[in-house]
Amino acid sequence: MKILLVIGVVFVVVCLVIILVALFTPFRLRISSTNGEAVVNWSPWVRAGIHSGHGPEGLFFILAPGWKKFYSFDDVISRIGRRPQKKNRGIIERRWSKKWLKPKKFWKMLRAVRVNRLNIQLDTDDFVHNAYLVPVFEMFSFKTGYHTHINFMGRNEIECDAESSLYRMLKAWVF
């Protein structure tokens, strides 16, 4: 009888530790237009993303311990279109409210994400517009500490590195 109690307590403690680790482990979003990829890392174990450098159709991937999946964009889009239609058997369908994400909640959730690095290089292909935008971007770069620049060489690039955790997102969603 005591052995079952000990096993139950150990099981509950292990489950609580797993839940706490899942809540407080940060996930990181990296977007790079120079490499053509957007990757989400959740701890060092789980990784998912989109990489556009593999052929004309691109690549969607999910990597986890013991599990590795790669899909082309065409496969993902074709699977979305093949969903079977649900038959309506007289049951009233519950409609989701269009206000499920109000602007105030959206702003709170956006503030729960911490941007570690932001690098924006912009060229409008017009020298006059570029000249007008240089002071604006330099002032934004000076005030925020992010690297935002206007260049006159035809390069348009964005690199962003942001992180958050499930706890911070849930806290912003609920409160």
Summarize pLDDT for 113-157 with one digit per residue, the tens: 999 999 999 998 899 999 999 999 888 888 888 888 898 888 899
DSSP 154: S
10-residue mean pLDDT profile of the chain (175 residues): values are 88 94 90 88 86 72 87 73 59 56 84 91 90 90 85 90 92 87
Task: Please report which residue ranges of the chain form alpha helices under DSSP H.
Answer: 2-24, 73-81, 103-111, 127-144, 166-174
What are the strands of the beta sheet with 59-64, ordered from one edge? 67-72, 59-64, 46-51, 37-42, 26-32, 157-165, 114-122, 147-150
Distance between CA atoms of 157 and 119, rounded to whole angstroms?
8
| Per-residue confidence (pLDDT) for residue 52, from 0 to 100 | 79
Distance between CA atoms of 93 and 124, rounded to whole angstroms?
48
Q: What are 119's strand-pairing partners?
A: 147, 159
Contact 59, 70 (CB under 8 A): yes
Distance between CA atoms of 48 and 159, rounded to whole angstroms?
17
Name the phi and psi angles at 26, rounded to 5: -75, 150
Instruction: Name the pTM for this structure.
Output: 0.72
Those residues whose C-beta lies under 8 Å from the C-beta of residue 55, and which sit 6 or more positions away, are 72
Those residues whose C-beta lies under 8 Å from the C-beta of residue 152, and which sit 6 or more positions away, are 123, 127, 130
